Every structure is written in C-alpha cells, then in structure tokens.
C-alpha cells in the first residue's frame, strides 16, 4: 500500500486559522506542491501580506518577510534584487493587491520583476469582516456596500489577470479556481507553470485564484463554493491571458 | 484496496470532499467533534478507487490517500 | 606631487551621500525624485551599477521604502532618500522596519512644509525624524550633518550604526547642505566590528531554522517584551553613540545651540560675538537621536543660559530644555522655513547680543 496523496513538505503540519470552506488552504497547498516539485523550498523567500494570509510564515516552511498592506510586490522586488539567486513569491488578497497595493503590483509587473505573485480573489475583505473589495461584484452586498455594489458609485470590479496581461513586463498571467476537482487540477498546473517561469527565469508570473469566503458571504461552505462557479467564473473567466514563453 | 484516511484534527467539516467524490463515499458526521466541527467520515474502501479527488478538494490537507 | 598627498574632491552635498553609500558597500538604492534631493538618485543611477549594485527609481516613495525593507530583510545594505512629503509617505514602511528590527539608511533632505510647502531649507521636520514619525512607538537613529564632509562621513556612519543596532538610521540634512558644494576628503570605509546578519531571510536549505522578518507580535506578552527590549537598546544608543561638537566653550556664559545649516551660520555669529567680548560658546548636536542629553546637562552645570536657534518655530529646543531641566534657562530664536528665511550671521549676532544684554 503506497500513499499517493499527502501534505507537501513545503507546508507545515499545522492546523490553519482559515474558516471551513475557505479556499486559501487549497491555494497554500498547491503552492507548496509547486515548491516541492521544483525542489526549491530551500531557496524560497515568501512575502506575506495583510489579510487572512498574514500568517503565511506559520504555514509555509520557508523564510518569510512580512510586508505592509499592499506593498508585497515592492518588498519582493527588494528581496529579489538583493538575492537574485532565490525564488521570491508574494501571496496577496484582493484588498491588498488591487486596492492599496495597486501601484506596487502594476509597477513590479511592468518592470518585469522575476517574482511570482499569487493573488487570491474572494470578492471581499476577509480578515477585517467582509467589507467591499475592488473585486466585489456588482450588486454584491458587503458590510460597506449594504445595498449592493453600485457600479456608478464604486466602479466595476477589477479584472486583474487581464489588466496585468497588457503589460509587456509580464511573462505569465492566468486565472484559476478551486471550486471543483477539475478546476483544482487545472489550478495545480497553472501554479506550477507560474513558478516554472521564475525557476527558468522567464519573467514575472501572476496567478489570480478565485476563492470562496463562506463566513463573510454569509453562506455555508458548499453554497459558497457554488457561488464561485455560478457567479464568479462567468464574470472572472478562467484561463491563461499571457504566456510569453509558451510554457 | 485503495482507501483514504481523514485527519480529524485537521478536518473542519466544510463538506467540499463530499461533493468531490465521484462515488459519494464521504459524508459529514452527524455529531460535532470537540472543536464543534462535523468532520468528514469515509464510508469504507470497498468502492474507493484512490482517485484522490476528495483530497484535492480539501482545503485543510486533512485527507491522505493510499493505493497499491 | 607626493604620492601620499590627500586628494580633495569638490562635490555637492547630495552627491557626497551617494559617494559614501558606495564606499560603505550599499548594494541597493531605491528612490524617487523630489526637490531638493534628486541628485542622490541621479548620482546613484549612474554609479551604483558600476559597483555591481541595483538602482531602482520606484513608482513612489512608498514603493522605495518597501523595496528597502525587502532588500534589508534579505541581508543587503540598502538606502533610500527623499524630502518632507516623501518622508511622510515612508513612515509606514519605516515603522514596519523598526518593528521588524531591520537596518537601513533613509536620507531626508528637509524642505519647507507642511504639505507641498516649498523647496528652501527647513528644520521643521526635526519632530518627524526624532520622535518616531510613524505609528507604534519607536525611535530611529538620526544624524545631522552640517557640511558636505559630514554628509559623506555620517552616511557611512549611518550604515554602520544601523547594522550594529538593527535600527533604521536617518541622515537628516536640508536643501542648503544638499545643494552646496565643498571640498571633501573621500575617507575610506572605517573598519568596524559588524555583527553577522544571522537573522536575515535567505531561503535556507533543509534542516536550518526558518527565519521570519515581521513586526506582528500577537503572542502573550510578546509586544510588551519587544517594547522594553527596544527601550533598553535606545538607552544603550544614548550611552554609547551620542555625538556632538563644542566650540568657543572655555568660559562661556551663554551657549548657542543649533544643528545643520543653522549651526554654520551660528558659528560665524559666535565668532563675531566673541570679538565683542561676549562669552558665548556653541553646542552642536550631531546625533539628534540619541540626543546628547548628558552633554547638555554637563554644560548646564557651569553655564546657565542657552540660546537655541532653529529654522522652525522651535522643535529641538524642547529636547534642550528637557536635557538641562531647571539648571539653565533656554532662550529661543526661530526662523520658520520660507523663501528668504535663512538668517545671516549678522542677524544671529544681533540675537546673541540681545540675549546677552538681557542677562546682565
């Protein structure tokens, strides 16, 4: 009898603080699997951001730098330029990356920094209790859009994978989801490709992962999971938007 | 026979594994555990093919899969 | 020409900062243009790559301070520079660096504020620099050059002190010192015992402990312990690293005290006053944090009057008063920032005379 599925070595054997049904855990695992597959855990520096993913260092068995809210791509730039021989990745939520951090992500992508950005989009600010995020969908009720997001007042949600795919400095930009086994397997492949870009020095790589936030959506895990497929994917299509090295 | 084990110390009873299994071999417990979670329960190895889709869906890496 | 002749170079204050950074082994510089310090990124954009270093003109001062955080966390000697509005933007990043005990050099060439203000010299960011301009209750090392030579020497010192104490270090100048040209001697990097950066993130191999650079401290009692630890370290700084300059002190009955540009003008005024028989000395703090409190207290044992002069309505004067307590009276003359508000030596000489006459 052989064990054919186990926790990746890059992930610590600990309980996480993530809510039941939160897809952060799945994304963490897939990133851990990518680090294992390329054998790069020993060379990797993670950059944690502010949000539910702030405890990155508690879950990944790699050296980690904590960054201020939104600044992870700039912190990662500094770390990678100081240590170009290391693998540097950021892990950010939608408020962190697409609100306060919009300048840092666009410019690090535009400069084509040799880093990998993992962006978890759950259309809400999780850690702080479910406020409206830059990716909150039109009509979506949150604690700061109690009548539903009004595009006329707040603008439309950002589509980050597409936005960044327009920048020449970007090597790889893709959007994935974790709401079904098929999508998880595809996400696994895309996340590995993103890290392959950095390992093979092919440029800036970006993964947007659509995720559920059952607690702040006021839904149980299975209904929240369903929302990803029924509401989010039609608006934020899955796929590869830029793949300059054709990996 | 292929089978899975569910680590109850990690399982949060989210139920994502129950919709992943093509043979619906995983369900949620009726009674909550000491942490208040209705953890996932494996129906048994008889029909399990070791496809590991349950483990792939699990956000808490609570499932291990074994095969020949 | 003798081979041991010391070479003097005629350089701008801002450029001296860049030269010193290179000599100190700074491998990463992240900056953004802002008057009156754009010469620093301009100089380093030309020179840093020749030394194998990395120069990035960041998207903003926020981007730059965070790149500094990342490079420093990875063990590199790194620097950023800016002026008032940009230093305000950097406060969050500096707070994170302080909380994470990261070294790093931040050069602040002060201009007028608040807001967009103006580009002439000011000393009205003394509080911002020395009282922990960002949130959380921390201090950073602050060094105040008053010459191009000191822009050079104190920048090198900033790197060393920052590495030794794991506290961010600021070189606090102003537009006059940044833009002036003087001859300097490009001293070689002094030999200093530096601790290993054994805490840096490095992407470690198997079997080695995880290094995390963070400021989040949620454990029971963890944050309180951190604050007391840093409090003790600031005390150690005060005990070991205060620097100041005294002049014309012998029988002084009135001590003029000033830093940066003001101290140069005050020096001339003190000489003028001495020529008229006024027993006045000059006390110039070089470390603004740690503030040389003991030096002031010691001076106040024999001299009962100080005249603090600043390009502001009075910020450093508070620290002088705290240092001398009730042992001396501290008078103040201020020239808040603004075009044409740099005092002349004659003007300061008049103030010294006025203060002196009032003591009689």
Which chains does A contact via 3+ CB–CB distances below 8 A?
B, C
Mean pLDDT throughout C182-211? 92
Answer yes or no: do B52 and A4 touch at CB < 8 A.
yes
pLDDT at C4: 61
Answer yes or no: do C210 and A74 touch at CB < 8 A.
no
B58: contact with A, CB 8 A cutoff = yes
Domain A24-243 has CATH 3.40.50.970: yes
Of A5, A11, A21, Cβ closest to residue B52? A5
B62 contact residues in A (CB cutoff 8 A): none
**Is the pLDDT confidence value at C226 over 90?**
yes
Burial class of residue C241 in the structure, from the number of CB atoms within 10 Å of its CB (0-12 exposed, 13-18 middle, 19+ buried): middle
Closest chain A residue by Cα to residue B2: A1
Question: How far does the CA of residue A103 sit from the closest CA of chain C (Å)?
Answer: 7
Mean pLDDT throughout C332-337? 94
Answer yes or no: do A64 and C56 touch at CB < 8 A.
no
pLDDT at C6: 80
Lowest mean pLDDT among A45-49, B52-56, C202-206: C202-206
Mean pLDDT throughout B41-56? 96
CA distance C251 to C350: 20
Question: Between chain C and chain A, are at least 3 CB pairs below 8 A?
Answer: yes
Residue ranges of chain A whose pLDDT lies below 50? none
Closest chain B residue by Cα to residue A5: B65
Burial class of residue C85 in the structure, from the number of CB atoms within 10 Å of its CB (0-12 exposed, 13-18 middle, 19+ buried): middle
Whether ipTM exceeds 0.90: yes
Answer yes or no: do C96 and A76 touch at CB < 8 A.
no
**Is the pLDDT confidence value at C16 over 60?**
yes
**Is the pLDDT confidence value at C131 over 70?**
yes
Residue with tokens 């002196």: C356
**Is the pLDDT confidence value at C322 over 60?**
yes
What are chain B's domains? 3-66 (3.30.70.20)
CA distance C346 to C268: 9
Of the candidate CATH numbers 2.130.10.10, 3.20.20.140, 3.30.70.270, 3.40.50.970, the domain formed by C9-184 belongs to 3.40.50.970
Answer yes or no: do A16 and B67 touch at CB < 8 A.
no
Neighbours of A16 (CB within 10 A): 20
The answer to whether domain C9-184 and domain C245-359 are alike in fold is yes
**Total-model pTM:** 0.92
Residues in C whose CB is inside 8 Å of some CB of A read 27-28, 30, 54, 56, 58-60, 62-64, 66-76, 78, 92-93, 96, 100, 201-206, 210-216
Mean pLDDT throughout C102-114? 97
Contact A71, C62 (CB under 8 A): yes
**Is the pLDDT confidence value at C1 over 60?**
no
B56 contact residues in A (CB cutoff 8 A): 5, 181, 184-185, 188
A149-192 pLDDT, tens digit each: 999 999 999 999 999 999 999 999 999 999 999 999 999 999 99
Which of A9, A41, A65 to probe by mutation at the C interface, max C CB count within 10 Å? A65
The separation between CA B22 and the C-alpha centre of its own chain, rounded to angstroms, equals 12
Answer yes or no: do B66 and A16 touch at CB < 8 A.
no
Mean pLDDT, chain C, integer: 95
Answer yes or no: do B13 and A20 touch at CB < 8 A.
yes
Of C54, C67, C212, Cβ closest to residue A63? C212
pLDDT at C188: 95
Question: How far does the CA of residue A24 sit from the closest CA of chain B (Å)?
Answer: 7
A86 contact residues in C (CB cutoff 8 A): 74, 202-203
pLDDT at C277: 96
Separation in Å, CA B61 to CA A22, A73, A223, B12, B56: 12, 28, 21, 11, 8
B16-27 pLDDT, tens digit each: 999 999 999 999
Domain C245-359 class, CATH top level: alpha beta
Lowest mean pLDDT among A141-150, C136-145, C164-173: A141-150
Q: What is the distance in angstroms between the CA of the first residue and the CA of the last residue of chain B?
A: 7
Instruction: Tell which A residues from 189 to 228 touch B, by Cβ distance under 8 Å.
Output: 214, 220-222, 225
Answer yes or no: do A2 and B67 touch at CB < 8 A.
yes
Tokens coding C129? 């620099």
Percent of chain C with pLDDT over 70: 99
Domain residue spans of chain C: 9-184, 245-359
Tokens coding C170? 């600021």
Closest chain A residue by Cα to residue B50: A4
């Amino acid at each position: 009898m052989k064990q054919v599925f186990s926790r990746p070595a890059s992930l610590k054997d600990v309980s996480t603080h993530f809510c039941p049904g939160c897809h952060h855990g799945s994304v963490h695992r897939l990133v851990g699997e990518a680090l294992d597959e390329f054998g790069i855990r020993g060379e990797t520096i993670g950059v944690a951001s502010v949000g539910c993913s702030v405890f990155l260092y508690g879950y990944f068995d790699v050296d980690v730098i904590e960054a201020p809210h939104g600044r992870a791509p700039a912190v990662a730039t500094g770390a990678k330029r100081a240590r170009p021989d290391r693998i540097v990745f950021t892990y950010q939520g939608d408020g962190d990356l697409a609100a306060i951090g919009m300048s840092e992500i666009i410019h690090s992508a535009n400069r084509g920094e040799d880093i990998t950005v993992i962006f978890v989009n759950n259309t809400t600010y999780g850690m702080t209790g479910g406020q409206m995020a830059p990716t909150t969908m039109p009509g979506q009720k949150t604690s700061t859009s109690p009548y539903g997001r009004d595009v006329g007042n707040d603008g439309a949600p950002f589509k980050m994978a597409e936005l960044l795919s327009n920048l020449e400095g970007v090597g790889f930009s893709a959007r994935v989801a974790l709401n079904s086994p098929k999508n998880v397997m595809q996400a696994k492949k895309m996340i590995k490709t993103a890290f392959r870009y950095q390992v093979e020095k092919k440029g800036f790589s970006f993964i947007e992962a659509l995720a559920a936030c059952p607690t702040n959506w006021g839904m149980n895990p299975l209904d929240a999971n369903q929302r990803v497929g029924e509401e989010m994917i039609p608006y934020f299509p899955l796929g590869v938007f830029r793949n300059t090295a054709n990996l | 026979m292929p089978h899975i084990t569910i680590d109850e110390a990690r399982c949060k009873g989210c139920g994502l594994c129950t919709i992943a299994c093509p043979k619906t071999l995983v369900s949620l417990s009726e009674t909550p555990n000491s942490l208040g979670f209705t953890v996932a329960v494996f129906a048994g190895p008889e029909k399990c093919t070791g496809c590991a889709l349950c483990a792939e869906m699990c956000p808490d890496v609570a499932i291990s899969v074994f095969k020949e | 020409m003798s081979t041991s002749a010391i070479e003097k170079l005629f350089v701008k204050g801002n450029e001296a900062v860049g030269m010193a950074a290179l000599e100190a082994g700074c491998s990463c510089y992240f900056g953004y243009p802002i008057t009156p310090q754009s010469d620093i990124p301009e100089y380093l954009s030309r020179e840093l790559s020749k030394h194998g270093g990395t120069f990035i003109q960041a998207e903003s001062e926020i981007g730059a301070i965070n790149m500094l955080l990342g490079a420093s966390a990875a063990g590199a000697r790194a620097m950023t520079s800016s002026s008032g509005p940009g230093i305000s933007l950097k406060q969050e990043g500096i707070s994170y660096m302080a909380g994470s005990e990261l070294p790093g050099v931040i050069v602040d060439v002060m201009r007028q504020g608040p807001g967009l203000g103006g580009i002439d010299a000011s000393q009205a960011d003394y509080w911002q620099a020395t009282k922990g301009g960002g949130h959380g209750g921390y201090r950073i090392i602050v060094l105040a050059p008053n010459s191009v030579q000191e822009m050079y020497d104190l920048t090198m010192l900033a790197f060393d002190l920052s590495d030794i104490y794991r506290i961010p270090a600021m070189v606090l100048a102003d537009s006059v010192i940044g833009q002036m040209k003087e001859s300097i001697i490009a001293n070689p990097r002094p030999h200093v015992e530096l601790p290993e950066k054994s805490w840096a993130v490095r992407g470690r191999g198997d079997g080695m402990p995880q290094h995390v650079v963070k400021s989040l401290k949620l454990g029971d009692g963890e944050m309180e312990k951190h604050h007391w630890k840093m409090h003790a370290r600031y005390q150690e700084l005060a005990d070991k690293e205060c620097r100041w300059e005294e002049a014309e002190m012998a029988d002084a009955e009135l001590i003029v005290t000033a830093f940066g540009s003001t101290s140069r003008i005050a020096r001339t005024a003190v000489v003028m006053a001495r020529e008229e028989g006024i027993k006045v000395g000059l006390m110039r703090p070089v470390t603004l944090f740690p503030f040389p409190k003991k030096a002031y207290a010691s001076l106040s044992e024999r001299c009962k009057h100080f005249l603090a002069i600043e390009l502001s309505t009075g910020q450093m004067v508070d620290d002088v008063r705290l240092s001398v307590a009730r042992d001396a009276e501290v008078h103040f003359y201020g020239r808040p920032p603004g075009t044409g508000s740099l005092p002349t030596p004659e003007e300061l000489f008049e103030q010294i005379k006025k203060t002196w006459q009032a003591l009689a």
